[in-house]
Amino acid sequence: MPTIHEVAKRAGVGSITVSRVINNSGYISTETRERVEKAIAELGYVPNTLARSLRSRRTNTVGLMITDITNPFFTTLARGVEDAANEAGYTVIFCNTDESAAKEEKYLNVLLQKQVDGLLLVPTQSRVNSIQQIQKHGTPVVVLDRRIPEVDVDTVRCDSVDGAYQLSKYLVSLGHQQIAIMSGAVGVSTADDRVDGYRKALEEARILIDEHYIFRGDFTPDSGYSMTIQAINLPLRPTALIAANNFITIGAMKALQEVEMDVPDDIALVGFDDLPPAMVTFPFFTVASQPAYQMGTRAMQLLLERLEGKEMDAFQEIILPTHLIIRRSSG
Amino acid sequence: MPTIHEVAKRAGVGSITVSRVINNSGYISTETRERVEKAIAELGYVPNTLARSLRSRRTNTVGLMITDITNPFFTTLARGVEDAANEAGYTVIFCNTDESAAKEEKYLNVLLQKQVDGLLLVPTQSRVNSIQQIQKHGTPVVVLDRRIPEVDVDTVRCDSVDGAYQLSKYLVSLGHQQIAIMSGAVGVSTADDRVDGYRKALEEARILIDEHYIFRGDFTPDSGYSMTIQAINLPLRPTALIAANNFITIGAMKALQEVEMDVPDDIALVGFDDLPPAMVTFPFFTVASQPAYQMGTRAMQLLLERLEGKEMDAFQEIILPTHLIIRRSSG
DNA sequence: CTGTTAGCGCGTTCAG
DNA sequence: CTGAACGCGCTAACAG
């Protein structure tokens, strides 16, 4: 692996001149530039970003921590981040936390050690520590998808309360009175907010809220499955189910198939997060759809603004709307 | 951001001692270690991987280039890579090439400049250049999912010929004589191989191969859609369709729904690559399923062996089996 | 337009 | 068991 010095020697110039050619900085005579470029080509020289970054204190790299890259919602979001980053000349390092605080902690350290210029984070729980650690370290950070109460930090997320509110209200408008909601873990803001939106809609409709109708598990198919089994075995069986994310929806559907209950004839089922069109053969579920890709790009743009040092007066909270897509599963 | 020197000064030791504490190398008295650790904690010191890597010539990072992170097959594969890498203390940098040779070239350079220790690559076309460039640069590389003819390189892939052969043979056993196949771009080995497996099965069954029944497009829903439209408009309409990947299957299904043809009553449809259970509500398609996650872990393990410097005598080609999963879409 | 000097933060080498 | 000196490959800050 040739170094900049070897290129310089071969081209008969100083190494800084080679540096200037590589980075298109400063003034170089066309003739010198050509000599240098020739030497670079001949030696197959590849600049060492490590050394460059060590000196310049910029890595042109950002870290993205999501909870599960296997979930299409996060993949789409990641894709949005990557596209925006790429356009601005940044590389993205992805990490999966699997909703584990320990993994989050670990990856956070890896990324900070790698001197990423900025960080995009879907926090595992509404954990304050990680964010403060990052801020203390001086690295710009944007929180994605979830709220972190009581910390001042840039955030890009969707309006989960409103999404759940719309879903619930729609079910009520169809005449449902017994509506159950199956949500994620307590402390995960999206899971909490969706329950809040549900409560809001029911209160507005003057429907008494039965706490037995509110299930809290995880954002996984397994959890969706077991919450559904519990729900349909309630003394007063609900006539409609709200699944608080796509994986819960899948698990719920599996459970209902097993007990041979038809959707929507025997029970209505609506969910959060659409699956991407590219993965769906029979669009079936009524859902509150979130603009995952836009979340990614907006977050990256916000981070870039911070990186460019545009000192905005305060931290921003960008809240994107959710859209109700009505299909057959709601009857 | 404190440096190792500041920690050293605060602890009243030399900076090398701090280095030894961080890396658990050499002998340190318990007392000194404690002093150092205290200083590290107080200053919130985070070691700078850049400097470390510059010196040690190891980044503990590998690059993974896939064609489409949006495709669950590749996400699953990526997940396998990440898990295996993580366990061995490596970080993974993901890149999407979108089947574009230009993007591949660009990302390749970025990764090499970042001094990744190794590279995992799903090549865009069966392009020899990229591989040779990497090998010339001296970075270990493992090719994933696809064959690169005429280059000696470690490879982990599935048996596409056999998968398509099994699918085709199965259709033949059901009595189909007019079978069309819709595959990806010419030059992409998986797309080529699947057509070969199809030919092999038909030849064995002494069915005359009509070249009009062989479609070559892309591994996308759009392409699947248009190939399907063409297929069903053939003078002698096929009675069965083989989609060479999951996205083509989705596009095909969409087309068939639009023209109101029922699967499997009006036409049989089988595919390659299952969608992950977590994303499927109604398992429906007969498919040749590939062990994507295992591909990822095996590839990473192979790369790790190269990184550990275990000089194996020759390059390896690991070929994983595909499994035929029979469901309703084949009738 | 080009070169010199001096580090970036760390780990290897060798000497206490 | 601990430390001093040096250099990894590159670029910021000055000179010329």
pLDDT averaged over consecutive 10-residue blocks of chain B (331 residues)? Answer: 85 86 82 87 88 90 93 95 94 92 91 94 82 88 92 95 98 97 96 98 97 97 98 98 97 96 97 89 92 97 87 86 96 89
- Write out chain A residues lying below 8 Å of B134, CB-based: none
- Write out chain B residues lying below 8 Å of A279, CB-based: 72, 246, 250, 275, 279
Distance from CA of A31 to the nearest CA of B (A): 26
Query: In the prediction, which pLDDT does B7 show?
Result: 87
Q: Do A49 and B254 touch (CB under 8 A)?
A: no
Q: What residues have CB less than 8 Å from B56, skipping those under 6 apart? A: none
The answer to whether the beta carbons of residues A88 and A113 sit under 8 Å apart is: no
- Residue A310 — very low, low, confident or very high, per pLDDT cuts 50/70/90? low
The answer to whether the beta carbons of residues A164 and A196 sit under 8 Å apart is: yes
**Cross-strand partners of A183:** A216
**Strands of A154-158's sheet in order across:** A91-96, A61-66, A118-121, A141-144, A154-158, A317-320
What is the C-alpha to C-alpha distance for residues A4 and A24, in angstroms, rounded to an integer?
Answer: 15
Distance from CA of A175 to the nearest CA of B (A): 26
Q: Which nucleotide comes closest to A4 if you measure CA to C1'?
A: D9
Q: Do B221 and A79 touch (CB under 8 A)?
A: no
Global pTM value:
0.92
Q: What is the distance of C-alpha B193 from the center of its chain?
A: 17
C-beta neighbour count of A9 within 10 angstroms? 15
Query: In the prediction, which pLDDT does A311 show?
Result: 66
Q: In the structure, how far is the CA atom of residue A15 from the C1' atom of nucleotide D12, in angstroms?
A: 14
Q: Pseudo-torsion of CA B280, B283, B286, B291, nearest 10°?
A: 50
What is the C-alpha to C-alpha distance for residues A252 and A224, in angstroms, rounded to an integer?
Answer: 5
Q: Do B277 and A221 touch (CB under 8 A)?
A: yes
For A57, the token pair is 């204190």
How are the residues of chain B apportioned to helix, strand and coil, as percentages rounded to the nearest 5? Answer: 50, 15, 35
User: Which nucleotides of strand D lie within 7 A of protein CB?
Assistant: 1-5, 7-13
Residue of A nearest to B138 (CA): A1
| Tokens 């996984």 sit on residue | A220
Distance from CA of B280 to the nearest CA of A (A): 7
Query: In the prediction, which pLDDT does A299 show?
Result: 97
C-beta neighbour count of A222 within 10 angstroms? 15
What is the C-alpha to C-alpha distance for residues A48 and A315, in angstroms, rounded to an integer?
Answer: 35
The answer to whether the beta carbons of residues B169 and B147 sit under 8 Å apart is: no
Q: Which amino acid is at B108?
A: L
The answer to whether the beta carbons of residues A191 and A145 sit under 8 Å apart is: no
- Write out chain B residues lying below 8 Å of A92, CB-based: 93-94
Task: Round the average pLDDT of chain A to a whole number and report it.
Answer: 93
**Cross-strand partners of A182:** A215, A243
Query: In the prediction, which pLDDT does B2 show?
Result: 82
Q: What residues have CB less than 8 Å from A327, skipping those under 6 apart? A: A283, A284, A285, A286, A287
Q: What residues have CB less than 8 Å from B182, skipping those under 6 apart? A: B215, B217, B223, B224, B227, B228, B231, B241, B242, B243, B244, B248, B252
Q: What residues have CB less than 8 Å from A87, skipping those under 6 apart? A: none
Phi, psi (degrees; rounded to nearest 5) at A85:
-65, -45
Q: What residues have CB less than 8 Å from A52, skipping those under 6 apart? A: none
Q: Do B114 and A91 touch (CB under 8 A)?
A: yes
Residue whose CA lies closest to nucleotide D4 C1': B14
Task: Give the ranges where chain B is alpha helix by DSSP (H).
Answer: 4-11, 15-23, 30-43, 49-56, 72-87, 101-113, 128-137, 160-173, 189-204, 221-232, 246-258, 292-307
Which domains does chain B carry? 4-47 (1.10.260.40), 59-157+292-318 (3.40.50.2300), 160-291+324-330 (3.40.50.2300)
Q: Do B49 and A78 touch (CB under 8 A)?
A: no
Biggest alpha carbon distance in chain A? 87
- Write out chain B residues lying below 8 Å of A247, CB-based: 278
A:B CB pairs within 8 Å:
127
Phi, psi (degrees; rounded to nearest 5) at A118:
-155, 170
Residues A202-231 have a mean pLDDT of 97
CA-closest candidate to residue B176, choices B267, B43, B81, B294: B267
Q: In the structure, how far is the CA atom of residue A16 from the C1' atom of nucleotide C2, in angstroms?
A: 9
The answer to whether the beta carbons of residues A284 and B281 sit under 8 Å apart is: yes
Rg for chain A, CA atoms, rounded? 25
Q: Do A221 and B79 touch (CB under 8 A)?
A: no
Question: Could you say which of A82, A115, A284 has the minimum Cβ distance to residue B96?
Answer: A82
Query: In the prediction, which pLDDT does B35 show?
Result: 87
The answer to whether the beta carbons of residues B115 and B53 sit under 8 Å apart is: yes
Q: Do B48 and A115 touch (CB under 8 A)?
A: yes
Rg for chain B, CA atoms, rounded? 25
What is the C-alpha to C-alpha distance for residues A318 and A301, in angstroms, rounded to an integer?
Answer: 11
Residues A186-207 have a mean pLDDT of 97
Residue A125 has pLDDT above 80, yes or no: no
- Write out chain B residues lying below 8 Å of A71, CB-based: 278
Pairing outcome for strands A286-289 and A240-243: unpaired
- Residue A283 — very low, low, confident or very high, per pLDDT cuts 50/70/90? confident
